[in-house]
Structure 1
Amino acid sequence: MADQIELASPPFDSVSSVRFSPTNPTHLLASSWDTVAWNLVCETAGTVRFYDVAANEQKAKFDHRAAVLACCFSDANHAYSGGLDTSVRELDLQTEKINHLGQHSDAISSMNFSRDQSERYSPPDSPVCTDNTSSHDLPERVYNMDLVNHILVVAMASRLFHIYDIRKMDSPAQIRESMLKFMTRALACMPDGQGYATGSVEGRIAVEYFDPSPQAQEKKYAFKCHRQTIDDVDHVWPVNSLAFHPVYNTFASAGSDGTVSIWDHKSKKRLRQYPKYNAPVPSIAFNCDGTKLAVGVSYTWEEGEEGAKTAERPAIFVKNVGDEVKPKGWTGS
């Protein structure tokens, strides 16, 4: 496709997360379930790779002792990572040095950074062992979370959602049950701070709003997606990742069907579906100025080890986006 590039030096194993820098539109992080050599023996491990997508080059690589499930930037030169080895790491993107900040008692499934503080969550019995970090018990396993302004949304098992003001983390500001009947796989907050979207393993997306008033809650809705009828059989794929455009407040969804679609949640319409990739899409991200969309493409283990035997090497594509992400009748307001 002429509108995208494929990054050189992709991960060797499944992509878990792609995240653009909040300030540099060409800097990208990618975490993965890589296999690397420790003491000349190949073991399951993980990496975080740091790319300059404009130059199409890998600028740094950070090896971990287990699969990396989450990563995020803190500023232009630093990032965080975490995963199955339960360690929270700070990554210096210039020197490639790793600083171990602390340990959880279970895997780290999701990470977000705020200029005021960084938030790190795992299952409910796993405080981070550092003096400058507070821990907060949760009633269920954490599947995903996202942050906009001072609002943190945490998606958990049993279709439970906690919504926090990160300046007052002693208790959630709101507790909600998911609109979707099946497990939450994806979560993203609207850049305008009005609400969030969630995706489930059963090919559905829900759009919700923070304002608890009846008028605002009447606007929430859910819809089917990432589905196809093949030979009169309905096929349904998980929604793996959601990403809002930083300017237009439209959003992209990515699924295990290998497709990425752009949605205008206000008009309740799909604006575009990009050509299908040859493998599932576990993670997507817009850059800070909304000109590019990173697309991680890799096996997602839904078919177990048998499927892994024939899976192709992962790839990361960076798409140039245009008016297809702009709502109809956009006036700049």
Structure 2
Amino acid sequence: MSYNNRVKTNTAAPNMGSLLKDVTLPADAEDTISSVSWSPVANHLAAASWDGKVRVYDVAANGSARGAAVLSVDGPVFDCDWAKDGTMVLAGGADRKTHLLHVSTGQQMTVGAHDAPIRGVRFVDVPGSNAPIIATGSWDRTVKFWDGRQQTPLATLACAERVYSMDAKARLLVIATAERHIHLVDLQNPTVFLRTVESPIKHQTKAVAAFPDGKGWGTASIEGRCGINALDEQDTSKTNFTFRCHRENPQPQPGNNKQQRNTNTITKVYSVNSVQFHPTRPMTFTTAGSDGTFSFWDRVARTRLRGYPSAAGDGNAITATAFSHDGGFFAYAVGYDWSRGHAGNSPQVRTGLVLHPVSEEDAKPKGR
């Protein structure tokens, strides 16, 4: 598979936006928020946390929110997702179990388990199924498909390595594992891999996201770089590219002479923790990272639409993001992502959940 790396992304001087209209939700989470997900049918937002809870918020049009339900499990929760009809929230994490929360009643149930922590969970559309199908990806190197009414998996896929991230849209399931493997699954035939490719990024994959139409995916990595790829190999030449983001420009360092001052520079590179595609403007996507910033991008023009200053403060990171079902809100979680190790953590670290109202300047590609 070939990649077009000759990309001129406008990273040096983006159109900077303001965070003044962003709304901070109640500070309920007691530890880092690992995943956020919106209901496909309403402004209900789920946030999964390392404190062992998934909190569900009912968000008003002005961005204010109230708690609607809570799922509690025995251990950190790494991922969450909504059923297509918005009635249930799915979660998985360190306890290795797959959990369901019926939001209206508060009823919880467990559906199956893995042999190691679960890193990714998704409700998936499998043609011909009479019930909602769940996909779970684990550090035990498997992806399992479940019918919520049964405790045994419908099918199991053996992955090349531990599952680090997973996403599904339309008929595409994208699975990213350790050692830079990316498995692609056509959900019309979910018992086999459509194909397995190598990540376009040279270092560890942090997150993947499928295009809204399932015709491609984005890959984010720990090295301040993101990649966009088409599912159809015939479209790779016009769709595929990689680009740098979430980096600070080199700053000259003190030196004994002019030549030394010009060459002795430091580039700060941050992990890209999330990549997301706008649900109604699929050519627009976002990245967010350990530098606490997020940006909106145009994947056709291959340029940045708008960047935002650090939202986390005190050197904290953005750990998870998601668009609401109509694209009106962009939710982002702030906290510590351990990218700087134990020494980087402190009592000043703030864990929070923020809503950014998405504007035309954010999401509308220029000239289209």
* TM-score > 0.5 by shorter chain: yes
Find the partner of 1:113 among 120, 123, 126.
123
Superposed displacement of residue 123, structure 1: 2.8
Superposed displacement of residue 311, structure 1: 4.0
User: Structure 1 residues 115, 172: closer, same or farther in 2, change over 3 A?
Assistant: closer
Distance 1:302 1:245 in 2: 27
Superposed displacement of residue 308, structure 1: 2.4
Whether the 8 Å contact between 1:243 and 1:253 is mirrored in structure 2 is yes
Q: Deviation string for 1:210-236 (max 9, x for gaps)?
A: 1112x5345311111000036332100
Superposed displacement of residue 13, structure 1: 0.6
Whether the 8 Å contact between 1:105 and 1:127 is mirrored in structure 2 is no
What pairs with 1:24-173 in structure 2 (closer than 5 Å)?
A: 24=42, 26-34=43-51, 46-54=52-60, 55-74=64-83, 75-116=85-126, 117-124=133-140, 130-131=151-152, 133-173=154-194
User: Structure 1 residues 93, 149: closer, same or farther in 2, change over 3 A?
Assistant: same
Report the 3-state secondary structure (helix = DSSP H, G, I; strand = E; otherwise coil) of the residue aligned with 1:281: strand
| Corresponding residue for residue 366 of structure 2 | 328
Distance 2:155 2:270 in 1: 37
Larger radius of gyration: 2
What pairs with 1:264-275 in structure 2 (closer than 5 Å)?
A: 264-275=298-309
Distance 1:136 1:3 in 2: 44
Residues 1:283 and 2:320 aligned together: yes
Range 60-69 or range 165-174, more displaced: 165-174
Report the 3-state secondary structure (helix = DSSP H, G, I; strand = E; otherwise coil) of the residue aligned with 1:28: strand
Percent identity between the two aligned chains? 33
If the length of structure 2 is used for normalisation, what is the TM-score? 0.82
| Corresponding residue for residue 198 of structure 2 | 177
| Corresponding residue for residue 278 of structure 2 | 245
Superposed displacement of residue 3, structure 1: 1.8
Range 226-235 or range 277-286, more displaced: 226-235
Distance 2:209 2:30 in 1: 27
What pairs with 1:169-248 in structure 2 (closer than 5 Å)?
A: 169-213=190-234, 216-217=236-237, 219-229=239-249, 231-232=251-252, 233-248=266-281
Report the 3-state secondary structure (helix = DSSP H, G, I; strand = E; otherwise coil) of the residue aligned with 1:158: helix
Q: Deviation string for 1:103-129 (max 9, x for gaps)?
A: 211000011112432211113455769
Whether the 8 Å contact between 1:105 and 1:125 is mirrored in structure 2 is no
Report the 3-state secondary structure (helix = DSSP H, G, I; strand = E; otherwise coil) of the residue aligned with 2:345: helix
Superposed displacement of residue 158, structure 1: 1.4
Q: Which has the higher contact order (CA 8 A, sep 6+)?
A: 2
Distance 1:197 1:226 in 2: 16
| Corresponding residue for residue 39 of structure 1 | none
Residues 1:257 and 2:291 aligned together: yes
Superposed displacement of residue 132, structure 1: 5.0
If the length of structure 1 is used for normalisation, what is the TM-score? 0.91
Number of equivalences: 317
Distance 2:218 2:231 in 1: 11
Residues 1:318 and 2:355 aligned together: yes
Whether the 8 Å contact between 1:187 and 1:197 is mirrored in structure 2 is yes
Whether the 8 Å contact between 1:7 and 1:53 is mirrored in structure 2 is no
Q: Deviation string for 1:166-212 (max 9, x for gaps)?
A: 23123211211111000110211111332111111000011110111
Distance 1:123 1:166 in 2: 22
Q: Which amino acid aligns with 1:237?
A: Y
Whether the 8 Å contact between 2:141 and 2:161 is mirrored in structure 1 is no
5+ residue gaps, structure 1, are: 35-45
